[in-house]
Amino acid sequence: MEYFLKTSLTGKINNLPQFKGEALLPVFEAVVNSIQAIEERGNLRDGKIVVKVERDGQGCLPGTGRDTQKIIGFEIIDDGVGFDEVNFESFLTSDTTHKLVKGCKGIGRFFWLKAFSSVEVDSIYTSGISKRRRSFRFNKKEGIADPKDFETTDDAKSLTSVKLVGFQEEYRKQQSAYKTTKKIAQRILEHCLSYFISNSAPLIFVEDETEGEKISLNELFENEILENVSVDEFKISEHKFQIHHIKLYSTYNKMHNLVFCGRSREVKSFNISNLLGTSTQFDESSNKFIYSAYLSSSYLDENVSQSRIDFEIPETLDLLTQDSFPISLDDLKSEAIKRSKIFLKDYIESILDRKKELVEAYVEKENPTLRSVIHYCPEIYDEIDPNASVDRINEVLYKYKGQAELDLRRNSRELLKTQASSVDEIKEDYEQISEKLGSFQKDQLAAYIISRKMIIDLLEKKLEINKVNGRYHNEDIIHDIIFPRKATTHKLGFEDHNMWLIDERLTFHSFATSDNRLCDTTDSDSKERPDIVVFAEVDDDKVARAVSIIELKKPQKTQFNEDPTRQVYRYVRRVSGSTVKTVTGRKLSVSDSTRFYCYVICDLTEPVVEYAENNNYAKMKGELGYYSYSTRLQAHTEIIDFDKIVVDVRKRHKAFF
């Protein structure tokens, strides 16, 4: 009794890999099968293949802008050897080795049923001295259905029709399932380009009766591709490789590709746009082209995977694979990219020049804080296109800026650990790090200056009338610009307050509190909330030699509940002799020798001028403020107009710049 191993057709198809990124793969497989059938008959160049696009005749596809009807199937007709006994038996055998010498794995027909509901085959073939006709249907449920095989007239021409019926929605809706005849023809040509490049392709046509089109792939190749093909050869580990450099002036491809071919067909492709430094088209005498490189070799032919959309060759080699595979895919990609860059040298240099102009113009005009990045990190241009947006340029430059600064710190630490016997041994490394460090520090200073200018502009803007309601902004907004309310020094970063707007010396202090009750930050029992209190010049004895008190008023304020000069003096009395409670647990004291600096920041409206004059304040130079000194309280007090704050800080900024 004989036993036969059974195969589940549905399971076989379900286990095939998805190919939605190449939704027309079953059509490509059918075309390649037709090429091989013609090749088997003999004289490949005398053969003919017609690919018919079948549409449903039910109106147009939404969003196409024209009457393009939905594709429901394809018919591939060839004059090859046909489904004779040998080929039919091969078709019935899963994973057949019948065409193994051609690189076939015997599973191409299963891809048909992955994307189509059924297949209809009708073939006239030669059997001995007579002609026969074989037809059958192929689907997941029945496998082979309604098979017929009968003798036909001797003058019947060998012809095979494979109809792919019922284009599945999940594949038909994919972007790679092109809708127009021209796009389909172009993609079939690109998939079978190896046959055309090797001058071994039969006549291939794509017809669409609904669209009224008939396109010759041979003419497409001769008119648009052939003269733009260049061949290069190289050798790795005794294996010979051939790479065809192709300029595609008319293509629906949107990226530069490296294509690995196996047995004269496209197997695996890689987007190499980033590796070439651009995803845009290359320019040549006002013509634009997409670059494709087709790599072929007997090494690739012998190692096509069973799925025919990959290779058995590992990405990288290790101890387990290096005996079986002397060359990895990464090795091949690396060498192919190297050859591609040599071929495209002039175009790449031209694009690099455009990218440099774009980035340098942006840095000079918009962000000089990144100047060192373009000098020390030329690899940024690999990630920036000639038409990159400002956001993209920013993203890339800051990415490399962070990496460069990290490397700089790491290299500096390593240099300090060097056990050199003399300075001369580390002189070169030291000079390189010093130069780079100096450049990045200048950029940081530039960033600081630009940040200051933005804050000055913001302050000036908030002193203007609110155009929405016609009123001036409350002092709270200005308060937060100078020092955020409800905060203390230990809750903020160094750059998170801007007391330099009032006095540069306020930037450097030991402790500051903003809009907090005195009883919460000192041992005073007062619940009053001075706007800002700053403790500075703290010695080892933890005594603050200087305390600054800042009181802010709404711009153009004319009504006061209290004379602001009396208000700041009261705060001085509350703080005098007190001890500050810091979050670190260390205490700061205020002694009899502590100096107080009081700032009343407001516009010099009539009531403010009256307060100043009644208290014998001296007018400051420029008439935008008043000054007084209280001997008893050791308090220097300034009443400063907002305009003077802006004018003075702009002068300091200009000198700093």
User: Which band of pLDDT confidence, cut at 50, 70 and 90, is reported for residue 104?
Assistant: very low
Is residue 101 predicted with pLDDT exceeding 60? Answer: no
What is d(CA 200, CA 445) in angstroms, rounded to the nearest whole number? 66
Q: Calculate the alpha carbon distances from 611 to 535, 618, 621, 626 in Å.
A: 27, 12, 18, 10
Task: Record the tokens describing residue 172, joined without a space.
Answer: 């038909």
What is the residue-averaged pLDDT of the chain? 84
pTM metric for this prediction: 0.56
Residues 306, 308, 312, 315: is their CA dihedral positive or negative? negative
Q: What are phi and psi of 655, to 5 degrees?
A: -65, -40
* pLDDT tens-digit series, residues 276-310: 888 888 888 778 898 999 999 999 988 888 766 78
62-66, 200-204, 571-575: segment of lowest average pLDDT = 62-66
Q: What is the CA radius of gyration of the chain?
A: 40
pLDDT tier for residue 438 given thresholds of 50, 70 and 90:
low
The predicted structure's pLDDT at residue 541: 81
Q: What is the DSSP string of 244-280?
A: EEEEESS-S--S-EEEEEETTEEEEEEE-HHHHT-SS
pLDDT at 252: 67
548 beta partners: 534, 597
Tell me if 596 sits within 8 A of 548, measured CB to CB. Answer: yes
Cα 63 to the center of its chain, rounded Å: 28
pLDDT at position 60 over 70: no
d(Cα 234, Cα 384) in Å, to the nearest integer? 31
- Mean pLDDT for 124-149 is 91
CA 588 to mean position of chain CA atoms: 51
Place of tokens 């802008």: 65
Predicted confidence (pLDDT) at residue 384 exceeds the cutoff of 80: yes
Per-residue pLDDT of 13-59, as tens digits, reads 777 777 788 889 999 999 999 998 998 888 777 899 999 999 987 65
Rounded to 5 degrees, φ, ψ at 557 are: -70, 135
Give ∠ CA 15-21-23 in degrees, rounded to 5.
75
**Furthest-apart CA pair in the chain: how many Å?**
129
Across residues 421-449, what is the average pLDDT?
59
Across the range 513-531, mean pLDDT stands at 90
Overall average pLDDT of the 355-380 stretch:
83
SS3 159: strand
Q: Which residue has the tokens 């900024």?
A: 653
Instruction: Identify the band that residue 436 occupies on the pLDDT scale cut at 50, 70 and 90.
Output: low
Per the CB < 8 A criterion, the answer to whether 329 and 337 are in contact is no
Angle made by CA atoms 527, 596, 536, in degrees to the nearest 5: 90
Answer whether residue 601 shows pLDDT above 80: yes
Highest mean pLDDT among 317-321, 325-329, 580-584: 325-329
CB atoms within 10 A of CB 155: 6
Residues contacting residue 243 through CB under 8 Å, at least 6 positions apart: 231, 232, 233, 234, 293, 294, 295, 296, 336, 339, 340
pLDDT higher than 60, residue 390 = yes
pLDDT the model gives residue 205: 97
pLDDT tens per residue, range 159-169? 999 999 999 99
Cα dihedral sign, 610-611-613-614: positive
Give residue for tokens 């651009």.
278
Place of tokens 């009708």: 122
Residue-level pLDDT at 105: 39
**pLDDT band, very low/low/confident/very high, at 421 (cuts 50, 70, 90):** very low
403 has a pLDDT exceeding 60: yes
The domains of the chain, with CATH numbers, are 1-222 (3.30.565.10), 225-316+327-343 (3.30.230), 368-447 (no CATH), 475-656 (no CATH)
Q: Around Cβ 329, how many Cβ atoms within 10 Å?
A: 20
Chain-centroid distance of CA 479 in Å reads 40
Question: What confidence score (pLDDT) does residue 22 get?
Answer: 85
Confidence of residue 657 (pLDDT cuts 50, 70, 90): low
pLDDT at 533: 93
Mean pLDDT of 76-103: 74
